Structure 1
Amino acid sequence: MALHCGSERRWSRVVKMTFYLFFLIPMSSVGNRNTNTIFNKKQKLEVQQQLKRLNKPALKSIESPDGDIIDCVDINKQPAFDHPLLKNHTIQMRPSSYPEGFSFNESNDVSSNSEPKLTQPWHLNGRCPEGTIPIRRTKEEDLLRAGSAANYGRKKHHSIPNADSAGITHEYAVLVEEGDKYYGMMANMNVWNPNTGDSNEFSVSQFWMTAGQSAEDYDTIEAGIIVNANRYGDYQTRLVTYWTDDNYRTTGCYNLDCPGFVQVDNQIATGATVTPYSIYGGTQRTVEFYVYKDINGNGDWWLKIAQRNFGYWPSSIFSLLSNSASSVQWGGEVINLKLGDKHTTTQMGSGHFPEEGPGKASFFDTLNVIDGKTILRRPWNSRTVITNPNCYNLINSGDYFYYGGPGRNPNCP
């Protein structure tokens, strides 16, 4: 597929911008981080209207032991189809083909009733029926923590993991593959529950697939695991996805918090917690992510989680990523607010340095990219981005790496 260009590209951007101004901006501030703030009637009404937009009617609701409510929503009535470019979209239940070199156990496809290789606490109290998808219900307090409806679902701190744009509040230990066109990637990461030093900080382990260089034209799709108390109100590790078509400015969001991503799986919920965690010196729990651009189909970016066809980002919601990605990144990121002029104690990954090795340090393995020839291969044009190795580090070994760290320590004051 070719890049959108000329008037077609500008029109696509106008449609997207108009929609997001309607969907996100009209809401006035719904309060600050203090969820006890008193609101006037108009603000309360706006909060309720936003909740109604976000929470689609459920055919079944499941109370999770961790306090979440998972709504089983008709697959045809999910948030994706509020996007103006997806009004007449036909759901695809699987990619039309797979790249050379990729093997996949079809028994784990979304069409089967097999147990997922990723477990979430809400599974203990029920499952979503066929023809529905599980969506974590947005609560009023979630909106209040965001500070405004315009902020809900979007990143408060924008930064891309490369040496030029890593701001002082961001710390990275990331492996970057670039120098080719990319149509997908694979990665397996182990699951930890890192401590965060402040509720306004987060710790995430994920992949990024990006296209573009300028501040205005920069597309990305992302997925991984995160601890983010400001967003979720707790310190649990949660499954997370993200996308943007304009460098995080007005388009895109976490999970299904805005229209765009089309989910087809009925067993895994983004935004929900992931358990159990890896044990330091003991059993390692992992989750596998796989992304593939269906170039023989509609050009959509398919996401597999734990070997299941989870869903896809339609090509039409992107400009640059409607063609291909120009880089792939894997690794960890934390927010460092430098409270008291000290480095944060927020941990990355296991909270231990990569030098500690197997069973103790965080890792990504089975690293692969789908290159310009649509062949699955190991990374070979890679470099590391490590903002402060005394706080968080990365040791690369080709198709796997160890990364992470404790944050503040005697060598990282």
Structure 2
Amino acid sequence: MDFVLKLAAFIFIIYGAQSRETVRDLKSVKLNNNTIYDCVDIYKQPSLSHPLLQNHKIQLKPSFSISKSKNQVKTESERKKIIECPSETVPILRSTKEYVANAQYWAEKHFNPFTVDSHGTHIAGVRSQGQGPYHGLAAWMSIHNLNISGDQASYANIYVGSGVNNKVNFIQAGWMVNPKLFGDGRTWSYGFWKGANGAGCYNTVCHGFVQVSKTDPLSGPLPYDPKGEKGIYFSIVQDKDSGNWWISDVNYTGPDEQIGYWSKELFDLMSNSVDMIGVGGVVQASPSGASPPMGNGNRPTGDDNASARVRKLEIVDSSFKIQESDKYKLEKLLDNDKCYGLKDGKKPILFTYGGPGGDSCGI
């Protein structure tokens, strides 16, 4: 009898250890030594401890879909799933002290969409303001690998925002190459926000962004294949019912992947709508003044596929209807034509942009 009890106890211990090991494996996804995602309870994720979100009820899905719009265009924009968290958990990138410090450093330098005269920043893109209010936008942006030094950054993004005097609120999302921030030279997806009282940050470094997708984190390395046309198709749209600002991976071969949202409570100028939307490329120069390549490093030419490109820009108007961008007068932004370029494209390309950068671009 003692033998039977001891055997049962042994089996229980082994089973328990295996179960704990399985749970441990499911609760983290290690892509490399610098990139680890923790699968956390969706209802206990760090952002919900934000003072403005302590009584927040998670919205599990938005009430819209960009891919239901007319004139759908299939593109190779879907991101490969490299993470699969268990049900009712979401992937949160593990933040080291170094990552947090670097994120705070780069946040101070990050592109402010309300000015084209930021120290060390060069831009090429389009924006619309004065024709709103707006409730969001979506755009396809080509993805590129770039050789960027540790004190530089190069990225492409879509953005929404509002400003009054010296006060601004905005959200941006897209892709970025920033070795100092991410710890490697790969191209990453990212999100950035600035809200009430100047609060805000990259990705999930500070509390605020509510992750909903269990497979598609806000920030992650983007698989890149030089063959074929690769890009990301992001949307940032305010939900009509909740007022939250959702970011989604637009997918024309299936449902959109709803990544998550920034709650409306985080903002004091974006609760109801925004005054400006835009899309384009941005670079941040070294403190020495050397500017990195933008886009794919090539200036626009007569060949739309030879440089970085943006296409299928859609704007969500004051009535929450999705409009093609040709219904708006888009302001062109190019602060340095010596190092970078911006050129209208041939449909379906909206515009091409980019350039090599260099030591004489100015700051």
Q: TM-score range with shorter-chain normalisation?
A: 0.7 to 0.9
For 1:81, what is the secondary structure of its paired residue? helix
- 1:291–1:302: 8 Å Cα contact kept in structure 2? yes
What are structure 1's unaligned runs of at least 5 residues?
1-56, 106-115
The percentage of counterpart residues that share the same residue type is 29
What are structure 2's unaligned runs of at least 5 residues?
1-23, 251-255
Equivalence map 1:9-24=2 (5 Å): none
For 2:332, what is the secondary structure of its paired residue? strand
Equivalence map 1:5-404=2 (5 Å): 60-65=27-32, 67-97=34-64, 102=69, 117-119=78-80, 123=82, 127-143=84-100, 145=102, 151=104, 155-162=107-114, 164-179=115-130, 180-196=132-148, 198-215=149-166, 217-246=167-196, 250-277=198-225, 279=226, 282-295=227-240, 297-306=241-250, 307-337=256-286, 339=288, 343-344=290-291, 346-355=292-301, 357-379=303-325, 380-397=328-345, 400-404=350-354
How far the C-alpha of 1:375 sits from its partner, in A, is: 1.9
Comparing 361-370 and 59-68, the one that deviates more: 59-68
Structure-2 separation of matches of 1:235 and 1:61: 23
For 1:172, what is the secondary structure of its paired residue? strand
Amino acid at match of 1:378: E
For 1:355, what is the secondary structure of its paired residue? coil
For 1:352, what is the secondary structure of its paired residue? coil
Which is higher, the Rg of structure 1 or of structure 2? Answer: 2
Give the alignment's TM-score, normalised by structure 1: 0.72
For 1:309, what is the secondary structure of its paired residue? strand
Instruction: Give a deviation string over 1:2-51, Cα, whole Å, max 9, x none.
Output: xxxxxxxxxxxxxxxxxxxxxxxxxxxxxxxxxxxxxxxxxxxxxxxxxx
For 1:199, what is the secondary structure of its paired residue? coil
Greater strand content: 2
Structure-2 separation of matches of 1:376 and 1:67: 39
- 1:207–1:328: 8 Å Cα contact kept in structure 2? yes
How far the C-alpha of 1:386 sits from its partner, in A, is: 0.4
RMSD, matched Cα: 2.8
How far the C-alpha of 1:145 sits from its partner, in A, is: 4.4
Structure-2 separation of matches of 1:283 and 1:100: 22
Structure-1 separation of matches of 2:66 and 2:180: 39
How far the C-alpha of 1:93 sits from its partner, in A, is: 1.2
How far the C-alpha of 1:409 sits from its partner, in A, is: 7.9
Amino acid at match of 2:215: Q
Amino acid at match of 1:263: Q
Amino acid at match of 1:391: C
Amino acid at match of 2:258: N
- 1:99–1:374: 8 Å Cα contact kept in structure 2? no
How far the C-alpha of 1:234 sits from its partner, in A, is: 1.4
